Chains A and B, each alone.
Chain A
């Protein structure tokens, strides 16, 4: 047999530098790890996942082009189609392209969250994600890293599209940048959390596409992105009122066009100012759910 030359003595001579400690007695190093390294390792996992998603995004030019072209097409085509028939009582002069702009921004965030989480399904059984799950980082940091990475891409894509804001009649006077950023960040985190949680339970890309068309797309359609809450039938209006994505669209509308424009297409009960707390709750709940799903050991 191929008898290897390695013996215990070979092991002893291999000095280990850095954090590992010696091979003779690893106990001190283990405790040292527990004390100082635990949090650093979690942070390292989060950072690796976040950095990887961003690097991958910039290395796929087709993705950047697609990310920009898809919402533009959608916005112009649908806008042109509805231009003639769209009218909201009490909001004279509001054309459809202006009305739908915040909704398209939400769509950009939604789609990048969807695509990012499809990669979770693909990566889970094979590839990179498996090696991360088998690593020293906790499942919570894996979820956080993946959610932050996906959200970063969502924000990049949305920001690119927001360059068209002047064309959509956004004025500097009504623009509320802190609110805009807060709403986008929280929406992105909530939607990626939801995507990861769904992806973990669904397990197949085919199943995920079904969930996407049954849950995620209707959520967007009924968010006030395509048609205003005002004027919807009572049942539909209730569904729309309870839809967390509505707060994303309304928050963006308020951040871009000011509170008046937001109220004009909403209802009196749609409390401006509720968006941030609701989205914060949305993000917390779904990131928690994602962390719970991913942490459940099979």
Chain B
């Protein structure tokens, strides 16, 4: 698809592409990390880059953050081609890095002030923005505390405030909620949405959390440096028409072979369980149970496909498998 088509199709609500990536390519020696990425991000839109490790989402992030230079391709901001290092573009971008940019020896206010100064804000205007941001993240009373004492969730919210203190048009985030618990995750996104509504922000983020992907207006699924799909999360989930059957059993690999042989079913092992996609899932359950002797199957469950399933179908990889918190079995699949 051409960038223009991508911009038009599922995002009629966001008609103006604020940021347009046009054939963005980056190689590392022989490896092509990003292979001609075309993507248009509409003004006010929240777009998630979804992909396993090595899919190119980190490379995309670093290119857009100006930390890497592209080998080919260009970036259009409001329709005008701009160098990724152009201060005019850099100034309109707020960035949240995965590892954070807060100074532990400084207070929340001082951290925000550093961010404001870095983008040329001074005097009363800078102070006003700092207070405004502290209010928006609900941490105004704690603004004079050193951030080293803060929880991960609070620090992330402060990162959000720091990235937005200079009122950028577009916010770029790399795995913004990595390692956050459910409550902090909800709080982070509630604040992000409030800020988006208050400041008309456009957001581009990388993620491998299914719950985070659900929060996006549109997802761009990357695999091996290529864009394999862009659509709303709902439309992506609807691409899989049928049901997902999950079977727990000993020796799942041999069960996959048996399923193919005896029932003619295409199955695969996902995180130690056997998964089958079927149009009429409910009809398949009794057939399955009948076909195998008692005790061979530990459990059979049926559900509607989720984003994670769509991701698996598109890329052949498990979404979220590159989380550092994953159990060892998952980690071995990261290679």
Contact = CB atoms under 8 A, between A and B. Distances in A.
B214 interface: yes
Nearest to B232: A1
Interface in A37-77: 37-38, 40-41, 44-45, 47-48, 52, 55-56, 59-60
B215 A2 contact: yes
Contacts of A5: 197
A214 B117 CA distance: 39
Nearest to A31: B88
A130 B122 CA distance: 22
A279 B193 CA distance: 54
B44 A2 contact: no
A16 B200 CA distance: 11
Contact of A16 (B103, B105, B167): B167
Interface stretch (A134-142, A223-231, A247-255): A134-142
B256 interface: no
Contact of A7 (B44, B103, B118, B215): B44
Q: Size class of B's contact patch?
A: 35 or more
Interface in B203-220: 214-215, 217
Interface string B124-162: 010000000000000000000000000000000000001
Interface stretch (A19-27, A100-108, A158-166, A262-270): A19-27
A297 B105 contact: no
Contacts of B233: 1
B5 interface: no
A48 B97 contact: no
A56 B69 CA distance: 32
B99 A135 contact: no
Contact of A134 (B14, B66, B99, B105): B66
B69 A44 contact: no
B296 to A, nearest CB: 40
A130 B214 contact: no
Nearest to B43: A11
Contacts of A59: 105-106
A11 B101 contact: no
A137 B88 contact: no
A130 B117 contact: no
Tell which of B46, B114, B193 has the most Cβ of chain A within 10 Å.
Answer: B114
Contact of B101 (A4, A30, A127): A127
A259 interface: no
B120 A44 contact: yes
B172 to A, nearest CB: 9
B130 to A, nearest CB: 13
Given A133-B67, A297-B85, A298-B68, A8 B118 contact: no
Given A5-B197, A8-B16, A38 B87 contact: yes
A48 B120 contact: no
Contacts of B101: 127-128, 130-131
A136 B232 contact: no
Nearest to B69: A297
A26 B78 contact: yes
Nearest to B93: A134
A60 B198 contact: no
A19 B92 CA distance: 12
A18 B13 CA distance: 29
Nearest to A33: B88
Interface string A97-126: 000000000000000000000000000011
B65 interface: yes
A215 interface: no
A70 to B, nearest CB: 21
A131 B44 contact: no
B81 interface: no
Nearest to B70: A297
A6 B200 contact: yes
Nearest to B64: A134
Contacts of A135: 90, 118-119
B256 to A, nearest CB: 33
A92 interface: no
Interface in B19-50: 43-44, 46
Contacts of A206: none
B167 A55 contact: no
A251 to B, nearest CB: 34
B74 to A, nearest CB: 15
13 contacts: A1-B233, A6-B44, A10-B44, A11-B200, A17-B125, A18-B167, A40-B120, A52-B114, A130-B65, A134-B97, A137-B87, A138-B87, A298-B67
Question: When A and B form their complex, which 10 residue pairs have the shortest distance between CB atoms, in order from nearest?
Answer: A126-B99, A11-B200, A131-B101, A297-B69, A136-B87, A136-B90, A134-B65, A136-B91, A14-B200, A59-B105
Given A4-B196, A138-B87, 10 more contacts: A10-B44, A18-B125, A33-B88, A37-B120, A44-B119, A59-B106, A126-B99, A128-B101, A130-B65, A134-B90
